[in-house]
Amino acid sequence: MEEMLKAYIKLYYDRGWHINAARRLKRLGYGVEAGAMDRAARAAIILHDIGKPYAKKRKDNHVSFPLHEAYSALIVIENISSLEDYLGPSGDNSLVADSVVKAIMLHHMAMNRLGKTRLPKRSVDEDMAEELMKFLAHYGLSFRIPLSIGGLEDSWITSPQQLLSMRDYYILQPPKSRYQVTLRILRVLTVTDNIAAFHVRGGSIRVFVSDICY
- 79: domain CATH number is 1.10.3210
For 20, which DSSP code?
Answer: H
In the predicted model, residues of the chain with pLDDT beneath 70 are 90-91, 109-118, 151-177, 200-214
Nearest alpha-carbon partner for 55 in 47, 63, 44, 43: 63
Contacts of 42 (CB under 8 A, 6+ apart): 5, 8, 139
Residue 57, beta-bridge partner list? 64
CA 23 to CA 5: how far, in whole Å?
23
pTM: 0.83
Domain containing residue 53:
2-213
Residues belonging to the chain:
214
* CA 113 to the chain's CA centroid: 19
Residue 65, beta-bridge partner list? none
- For residue 66, the model assigns a pLDDT of 76
| Mean pLDDT over each residue of the chain, to the nearest integer | 80
- For residue 88, the model assigns a pLDDT of 87
CA 67 to CA 72: how far, in whole Å?
9
Q: How many domains does the chain have?
A: 1
- For residue 67, the model assigns a pLDDT of 81
